[in-house]
A and B are shown apart, each in its own frame.
Chain A
Amino acid sequence: MDSNKKFLNGTLNTIVLALLRENGKMYGYEICQLTKEKTDNKILLTEGAIYPTLHRLEKDGLIISSKEKVNGRTRKYYAINQSSLQEVESQIDLLSQFTGHLRSLLNLTT
């Protein structure tokens, strides 16, 4: 987990953006769960990581939040800010390319 955490530091923003782009509107817990499922329980996002990331992305204008009442309580949803879609796409592309470079540097077959 600790090594995952180290790698996540620079990439979590983009991972969250990619998840939101693919799934539309999501809330924090849902993002944690989806990440866990998709990585076969290998990447576990903590609340201490996911929420600050969401808040920062919102502050930067890349995502927008909305609140909904669910079971009598307020749930905060996040979605890609459509007017920043181009920048979101380019960030995801960059990380995707970088991952490719990493693979070749580590001599992995893609």
Chain B
Amino acid sequence: MIPSAAIISIIVKALRSAGVRDAEILEEMVDHYLIVIENEVANGATEAEAIQHTINQIQTTNLSNLTVNKTKKWPFLLFTLMFLTGGYSYLYQPFPAKKPLAIAELTTKVQSPPKGWPIAEPKAEISSHFGLRKHPVTGAKNYHRGIDIKAPIGTPVLATGDATVKKVGYNQKAGRFIILQHDDRYTTKYFHLSAISISEGDTVHKGDTIGVSGNSGMSSAPHLHYEIIDQDAAIDPIECIGV
């Protein structure tokens, strides 16, 4: 049985691809299509068939009269509402428009943040946590977008989930860095490396060694800076690891 949150996520994705943005309308339409799916299943269709049929229906029905954007505050309200009423915390996800929906892909891959530990030293100390902090080099108060994990130079750095390599490079702040793209929602970043063992466009799997830690860039001691980005927003990796 496909979890209802996954089905909701699929419906929302299709509706958003069709241009429906208004949160209240999305909520109403989700209910509508869930009834359609429930009725089809009651009439003997498999869940996957019913979902596929519904997605086709969404894609072929003219929903242009539903796509008017009322105000921009609604998406936030929907999120709050869904979260409070149904716990559908990952319901509201910005989706790329017009991407063809492959049902098999959707039902098997409900996006969730990568869960792995990013360094080959399971008990490494976290020297700086996610969130507001005083910067160790500049001394300025800032928002730390990731976690710093203390590690001797040369410790293998591991992909925290299956991904493609989005970018590898060097800059003054991050030093040698890697950015992995896990799906169309989550990316992870690994900073201050001493060496990188993969190239842009490579496919990597959870646990693969992608480089070794170092002290490059703006860093006061050898460590790995690790970030998880949910679309554009950094989230606390500690809340994702091992979940």
- On whether A51 and B34 interact (CB within 8 A), knowing A46-B62, A72-B86, the answer reads no
Do residues A48 and B65 form an inter-chain contact, with CB atoms below 8 A? yes
Interface residues of B in 49-87 (CB under 8 A from A): 61-66, 81, 85-86
Do residues B25 and A28 form an inter-chain contact, with CB atoms below 8 A? no
Q: Is B36 an interface residue (CB 8 A)?
A: yes
Q: Which residue of A lies closest to B57 (CB)?
A: A47
Q: Which residues of A contact B81 (CB under 8 A)?
A: 74
Do residues A27 and B31 form an inter-chain contact, with CB atoms below 8 A? yes
A73-93 vs B: 1/0 string, CB under 8 Å?
A: 111100000000000000000
Q: Which residues of B contact A72 (CB under 8 A)?
A: 86
Q: Which residues of B contact A76 (CB under 8 A)?
A: 24, 27-28, 31
Closest beta carbon of chain A to B25's beta carbon, Å: 7
Distance between Cα atoms of A49 and B66 in the complex (Å)? 9
Do residues B34 and A47 form an inter-chain contact, with CB atoms below 8 A? no
Closest beta carbon of chain A to B168's beta carbon, Å: 44
Q: Which residue of A lies closest to B22 (CB)?
A: A55
Do residues B27 and A74 form an inter-chain contact, with CB atoms below 8 A? yes
Do residues A47 and B85 form an inter-chain contact, with CB atoms below 8 A? no
Do residues B63 and A48 form an inter-chain contact, with CB atoms below 8 A? yes
Q: Is A98 an interface residue (CB 8 A)?
A: no
Q: Which residues of A contact B109 (CB under 8 A)?
A: none
Do residues A48 and B31 form an inter-chain contact, with CB atoms below 8 A? no
Cβ-neighbour of A51 out of B29, B36, B85, B86 (below 8 A):
B29
Tell me what chain B mostly uses at the interface: helix, strand, loop, or mixed: helix
Do residues A46 and B61 form an inter-chain contact, with CB atoms below 8 A? yes
Do residues A73 and B62 form an inter-chain contact, with CB atoms below 8 A? no
Do residues A52 and B66 form an inter-chain contact, with CB atoms below 8 A? yes
Interface size on B (CB < 8 Å)? 20
Cβ-neighbour of A55 out of B25, B61, B86 (below 8 A):
B25
Q: Is B99 an interface residue (CB 8 A)?
A: no
Cβ-neighbour of A28 out of B28, B34, B64, B85 (below 8 A):
B28
Do residues B64 and A29 form an inter-chain contact, with CB atoms below 8 A? no
Distance between Cα atoms of A8 and B95 in the complex (Å)? 33
Do residues A47 and B25 form an inter-chain contact, with CB atoms below 8 A? no
Q: Is A69 an interface residue (CB 8 A)?
A: yes
Distance between Cα atoms of A29 and B38 in the complex (Å)? 12
Q: Which residues of A contact B61 (CB under 8 A)?
A: 46-48
Q: Which residues of B contact A51 (CB under 8 A)?
A: 25, 28-29, 32, 65-66
- On whether A29 and B65 interact (CB within 8 A), knowing A51-B25, A73-B86, A74-B85, the answer reads no
Interface residues of A in 4-49 (CB under 8 A from B): 27-29, 46-49
Distance between Cα atoms of A70 and B30 in the complex (Å)? 13
Q: Which residue of B lies closest to A51 (CB)?
A: B66
12 residue pairs bridging A and B, Cβ less than 8 Å apart = A27-B31, A28-B28, A29-B32, A47-B63, A47-B66, A48-B62, A48-B65, A51-B29, A69-B85, A73-B86, A74-B27, A76-B27
Which A residues have a C-beta under 8 Å from some C-beta of B? 27-29, 46-49, 51-52, 55, 69-70, 72-76
